[in-house]
Amino acid sequence: MGFESLRLRNARLSEQDKAWLKHVYPLYVHELSAYDEKSYYLDERGIWQPDLIPYWMAEVCCHPMVVVDGSEPIGFALVGQKPFPYRVTDAEFKLAEFFVLAARRRRGIGQAAMGLLLTTFPGTWELSVLPRNEPALAFWRHLLRRREEFQESSGSILMKFDSATVRKEPRPAPPPPPPPSTPDSKESGVFAAVAPGAAPDTRSHLKEIEIVTSPGLAFAALVTPSSIRAWWGASRAVVVAEPGGGYAVTWGDDEDSPEVATTATFVVFKPPRRFVLGGFKYLARTGPLPFEADLTTEFIVGPAPSGCRVRVRQSGFPLSRKADAYYAQCDKGWDETLASLKRYLEEPRRDGGAGEGA
């Protein structure tokens, strides 16, 4: 059975996925109550407890991922990333909750979904299984013991493993990454890729700004169409936020003949830290660009004393004089764009957009 249509979506980026997760999570808690009725229970109002979805939507170190088959949500995985406070070991990630709808089980979907998670979040992992939950124990023992690095302790049944040692369902290779670059800081791997990584006959722009908001909200604003229209002043935006997905933005009142349109592809998509856009196409009423170039734009979001720092690197501008005017326009444009993003995220809004709880 192939799993080409299987993918992950961050529930923070879609109101529909948020609602789906909120409604389905009680089914998961109900199942767990069969193995631990004290920790998982129905309260006097008829609501299954604990209700942890608000926490997972609010905390930056939490990744509420929905498992999607085609366009149909079929499960979820709640992943905590260091410094997630409920880790037992020094692992970078904790798989806190993992659920597939009953009708879709025993088809290999769980293993394929886990492969997607380990590809999306590479590193060391831990998970815990309730001792009485024999179906879950059988699943994880089957999956993890295919490789040598596996730890299990009595009581909580703690399992620790590395993403590189777990078998993943084969999937099509993603597009090639951008040219390699070198870190500019020994303190954080988040802001690597600063030194020029483009070909020696090209030039780049590097811009960054600190914003008083969480990194998670800043990242969401960069990939949420309604937010992009607001902070970028665009007329329309379409985003398929996944490796190989599209990123298209237009400006102008005429939908059939926009003043400017740009499209790109997600070469790298690693929420909530980094994504890289490549394969840019640029269309304008004034005509095409007067030069050929293979442009890439990298966005990196990380913590800062004031909240978060957003760094943008646009690479691949030719050294030719034909590119000078556009290069200068982009230099000024990124300053204005990041300032607009900062205003959008810091100013109070009432529209319930990505800057408020997305």
Provide the 10 A C-beta neighbour count for residue 222: 22
Question: Once rounded to an integer, what is the mean pLDDT over residues 313-329?
Answer: 90
Model pTM greater than 0.85? no
- Residue 5 reports pLDDT greater than 90: no
Question: Once rounded to an integer, what is the mean pLDDT over residues 103-109?
Answer: 83
Task: Give the per-residue pLDDT at 252.
Answer: 83
Q: What is the 3-state secondary structure (H, E, C) of 270-336?
A: ECCCEEEEEEEEEEECCCCCCCCCCCEEEEEEEEECCEEEEEEEEEEEECCHHHHHHHHHHHHHHHH
pLDDT digits (tens, 9 = 90+) for 213-244: 889 899 999 999 988 988 888 889 999 999 99
Residues making up the chain, counted from first to last:
358
For residue 273, count CB atoms less than 10 angstroms from its CB and return exposed for 0-12, middle for 13-18, buried for 19 or more.
middle
CB distance 193 to 323 below 8 Å: no
Closest by Cα among 235, 238, 205 to 223: 238
DSSP state of 77: E
What values do phi and psi take at 314, rounded to 5?
A: -110, 120
- Mean model confidence pLDDT for the chain: 82
Please give the Cα distance from 330 to 79 (Å, whole number): 37
What percentage of the chain carries pLDDT values higher than 70? 83
pLDDT digits (tens, 9 = 90+) for 57-66: 999 899 999 9
Domain definitions of the chain by residue range: 6-165, 202-346
What percentage of the chain carries pLDDT values higher than 90? 46
Query: 23 vs 194, which has greater pLDDT?
Result: 23
Task: Give the per-residue pLDDT at 308.
Answer: 93
User: CATH number of 6-165: 3.40.630.30, 2.40.320.10, 3.40.50.720, 3.30.70.2860?
Assistant: 3.40.630.30
Query: 316 vs 144, which has greater pLDDT?
Result: 316
Please give the Cα distance from 349 to 346 (Å, whole number): 9
Question: Once rounded to an integer, what is the mean pLDDT over residues 91-107?
Answer: 91
- Residue 11 reports pLDDT greater than 70: yes
- Per CATH, is 202-346 categorized as 3.30.530.20? yes
What values do phi and psi take at 42, rounded to 5?
A: -95, 120
CA end-to-end span of the chain, whole Å?
Answer: 35
